[in-house]
Structure 1
Amino acid sequence: MADELMGVGASAFIAPTPDQLRHQWLSVLERQHPSAGKRQVNLVPCEVVLSHRASLLMDHRKYGSGSAHRAEFPVQHLARLFKRPPTSILAKMANLDGTRSNGGRFELEVAARLGDVEMLQGVYLRILDMARALGIDPDELPDFLGIEGTSLIELEGQYELDSSEIERSLESKLEKWERERTDVPIETTERLLVAAVRVGQHRFAQRVLNNHQHKCVFCGLSGIIGGKRRPRMLLASHIKPWRDSTDRERVDHTNGFTACPTHDIAFDTGLITVDQDLSLRYAPGIEDDMTVSPPLRRALGKPPLHDRLILAESSVRPDVSYLTWHQEEIFVAG
């Protein structure tokens, strides 16, 4: 009967009724911290979904059992609210992306289906609405996706991904999953792996934007206008493109620049490059063309470009290896 009150099957996670959500949260609120050596109760569906959504902000693979207490926001908040150790939240995140193979029966299907942004937004907001109705305030459960009552979820950096390139990059991983995870339907596996790529790109873009304080590194344009962040005013792109990068390079924020659309395209197409000392350099012919083309001068002249990359003191510099790659492979040198 208790299971039925909380919901049964995948729908308990992705399409819970208000009554089911109420019972899920009440079970969390009534829970006591387990005694030493006593097994924890299983996570209820709303806990699973919130743990899954935390992956948009942080990578669980960075932490082990000895470092879980240092895991980034919102892991510690969720652990306190759920009356669980941080290792429990990180383990659930690993179950949900297939890193570990001992998750709950419906969890991989749920994780795959929550790759749909509209679906994940809807269930996330319903979970938060019920939590607020039961007295769980933002201090206990922050709106860590920042969409409560105002905005829509928008995954960062997705414009840089091409579906065919994603498919090619996942071929070997799909073959490995087919050999090792025969319990998972191939359709679920494909959706999971594609979702993992998109989440990884989102986290990469967030780190790049934060590293450059949401300003174009070429001209200084801020993406915060009129007191609000305007996402399409700035792009977070790879220096060495995603399609040419290894898995590690794809999530390395020192392989990224924040740029306004004009200067992002100029860099991506090799009209400008950045030297090791962070000075900007034009492709041959650009400066001559600017003398006869006022629009080009207004777009690529100095100003608006600066002589050197614009970085705050706290910003991590781009890795030289990526700058060298761009000069050798992308820059229109002659």
Structure 2
Amino acid sequence: MDPILYRAASDARLDASQRQQLYRLAMAPAEPALLARRLNQGLLLVAALLLAGGLIFWIAANWQEQTRMFKLGLIEAALALSVMAAAALPRARVPALLAANLVLGGLLAFVGQTYQTGADAWQLFAAWAALSLVWTGLARSDVLWTLWIGICAAGLLSWEGRLGGWFDMLQLPSSAPAQGLRMGLWLALAVVPGLVASLAGLRLAQGLGRGSHRLALGLALAAWCIDGTTGLFDAPSGAGLFAVACALVAAVWLLSRNAGRWQDFASLCLATVAANALLMAAALRVATGSDLVGLLLIGLIVGVGGLGGSVAGLLSVQRRMAAEAMAANKEQVA
């Protein structure tokens, strides 16, 4: 038996028959086949990205040399071929739909720039998300849902007017209802992967899509931190906005730490970073009015303390999750 497997079996206190079952599972021929399938799928996804990106860059590079109708027909033909390939080739469905999704975004951008529809930028992303939702749901792929989450996030940022630069990222709406609506929209985006995992017609093979789930949570946590921190320093209703941001971050932290299907160590790390950012903002807000040396000292103390506590807590949770996983594997072997 492999030395690593032997040590694992010894630590788990397995008998001879259980060790044989563990060895057969570890050396099963399905593993290389699974690795080959994942490698092929990854190469197909990379090929889809390169083809879609190459098409968009080719159009941009030859912008003055090609006619408007030629470029429009070329993009539409690429979109149609991608969708037909997804329908005809089940094994290449996800890469083909990934390419179709990217080409669809290029088509909408081309139409908007060429014909000057007067629509706002967020409407482009909203139309892109709405049109691609059908095949994203039918494909049941975490890759497509991750891209869909990114499209929706870009639409939200455009609607908020936050894509103009770093200064725009720190602007808050003038009214409390608008602030609550914005935080609620990010919350709605954060629960989309969980909603998908709860619906039988949309559920992924692995249940909760980890990539889309982590991206949605990371974006929502960043938006809540920005809103809470900016409100704490600038907005008249800053204390309430900061409290709401803290409550949302705490909810994500608890769900990622303890709640069954939602338990995810990467999401817990993201929530911990957000909590540290809010803690630092609160400490600096309380210390406002102190001299520069005092602010730096307070920031250093809170930062080091938060970092040390976060690392200790995360290591403890990681050990608990590892122990639970080992116990589950032991029961499965038995």
Give me the TM-score of the superposition, normalised by structure 2: 0.26
Pick 1 or 2: higher relative contact order, CA cutoff 8 A, min separation 6.
1
Give me the TM-score of the superposition, normalised by structure 1: 0.26
Task: Point out the structure with max Rg over C-alpha.
Answer: 2
Going by fraction, where is helix more abundant, 1 or 2? Answer: 2
Going by fraction, where is strand more abundant, 1 or 2? Answer: 1
